[in-house]
Amino acid sequence: MLARFHSDWLAAPNASFLQGKQRGCGEASSMAPRMGGLLRRWKELLPGAPTHAGPGQRCRQAHHDGSTRAGRAAVSQLYQPFNLREDHAADPESKPDDLTCRSQKLMLQAGLICPAQNGCYYYMPYTVRAMEKLIRVIDRAMQGIGGQKVNMPSLNPAELWRASGRWDIMGRELFRLADRHDQEYCLGPTHEEIVTRLVASQAALSYKQLPLLLYQITRKFRDEPKPRFGLLRSREFYMKDMYTFDTSEKAARQTYSLVCDAYCSMFNRLGLSILKVQADTGSIGGTTSHEFQLPASIGEDRLVVCPGCKFSANAETINFDLTDCPVCHGKLTKTRGIEVGHAFYLGTKYSSVFNATFQDAESKHVLAEMGCYGLGVTRILAASVEVLSTEDRIRWPSLIAPYQVCLIPPKKGSKEEVGVALMESLYDDIADGVPQVKGDVILDDRVHWTIGKRLKDANILGYPYVVIAGKKVLNTPAEFEVWSQNTGEVLFLTKEGVIELLSKVQVP
């Protein structure tokens, strides 16, 4: 009977089947229009149900990821707290005068981050997309040199940190806590102790398995005395930390150079001009250290650079008042930078404490030579915005922009309204014809807004390409207005021209 009802219902136009069955049923008949509407909606969802959408139209039901049932990502469906835009003081721990950092202002204004408490933020969907792309870039760089990805506990036993001496050295920067059994722990800002204990537990580690490069990308914690500059200095952040184990000092220094070169190549791929500078080893220790600094006026580190011999150093390691380079005696220039990466040659500082050894060719147990290498994932995001953006427009490294392309159809009721269907068709043609940007296109379907208002949004959010269905969509053939946000170039292209342009886009 159910099967017969199903087939009769699907065959019935609109709610006539229901109304025919209820004819003469008194009160029930008055419910028919409402029930009919509900059943029509159900009918659309049943397998094999016919669609009543007109030519070129697609169902607009939203999925949880902001896409429509047709697979089109739509701005109207993404969770974005636009109410933060005009309220730069939305950070409960900041006064308006404190927001002196461009990236913090823009990311709050655009709703990319939302303050949770002092030094902690919600990362909103656009920011998460950018971060996931950056992680793919980092994964590619680390795995390209033999790195193996792991995931280690954030909760670190105090006994390990006491053994290394860092429980006291780190001081109040460590978030410390005790469990119900009065066992003490810290939330790890770095993981030298715990990774070394892991390797030490593998008694049968052979020299043939070295070098061993283990890395993770996880949330880290540091009790900053005064968090500031948004994601540039926060209490909770994402970091990539790699730990390497080698058979000798010579091999370990070769690995050190390998990782540093991979960092430089990665930043070059992102289009970021990085300085590799001599640095202090600080609380992590070791005998050699280099920072990777992104020059910026709001940078907290003072740097000295020699344009001639490429010598560069953090002022912590050299007299900042020096005018001549200690290497070539050329004139030093001074600048400021944002630290986005760090490398340390550790030697046996940690392997000797935890007895992390390997068996050499003669089956003797030898201490492993170690290095550690960090990248501030969320700091790279914010620092990129800081140095690439203008005062009112976010610019991302193209590889990690949340979306590569934003399509803006005409306003509803305008004479160019025919462009709405053309823009939806263009979306589908890009998805089909440019596979590298499939899933990287978003449709600004808020057609009750003017094109100008949506373009202003697109500018602040930093899409590399914005495609507008303006007056020229009425031409034959239709032409779209294409804004290349990173170059400032504006082109008028046919559908085929748009697809050809986007086919050159690089992805992580």
pLDDT at 33: 46
Q: Residue 350: which of 457, 504, 190 has the closest Cα?
A: 190
Looking at the fold, whether 363 and 447 belong to one and the same domain comes out as: no
Q: In this predicted structure, which of 287-301, 304-318, 336-350 has the lowest mean pLDDT?
A: 304-318
The yes-or-no verdict on residue 56 having pLDDT over 60 is: no
The model's pTM is 0.84
Taking Cα atoms as reference points, which of 203, 467, 184 lies closest to residue 356? Answer: 203
The pLDDT score that the predictor gives to residue 99 is 64
Q: Are residues 356 and 414 in the same domain?
A: no
DSSP string computed for 393-446: -----GGG-S-SEEEEPPPTTSTTTTHHHHHHHHHHHHHHH-GGGTT-EEE---
How would residue 5 be classed by pLDDT, with cut points 50, 70 and 90? very low
- pLDDT tens profile 438-457: 899 999 999 999 999 999 99
Task: Tell me: pLDDT of 41 over 80.
Answer: no
Determine the pLDDT at residue 27.
41
For residue 118, pLDDT over 60 is answered with yes
Cβ pair 483, 429 in contact under 8 A: no
Shared domain check, 437 and 298? no
CATH number for the domain that contains residue 488: 3.40.50.800
Residue where a domain stops, chosen among 334, 354, 388: 388
Same-domain status, 133 and 267: yes
Is 447 part of any domain? yes
Task: Write out the DSSP string of 434-487.
Answer: -GGGTT-EEE---TTS-HHHHHHHHHHHT-SEEEE--GGGGSSS--EEEEETTT
CB 243 within 8 A of CB 230: no
What's the burial of 98, exposed, middle or buried (CB within 10 Å: 0-12/13-18/19+)? middle
Residues 299 and 431 in one domain: no
Rounded Cα gap, residues 133 and 122, in angstroms: 18
* Residue 48, domain member (yes or no): no
Question: How much is the mean pLDDT over the chain?
Answer: 85
Per-residue pLDDT of 400-424, as tens digits, reads 999 999 999 999 999 998 899 999 9
Residue 62 falls within a domain, yes or no? no
> What is the extent of the structural domain holding 373?
102-388
CB 190 within 8 A of CB 220: yes
Domains identified in the chain, total number: 2
Are the CB atoms for 112 and 136 separated by under 8 Å?
no
**369 and 257 fall within a common domain:** yes
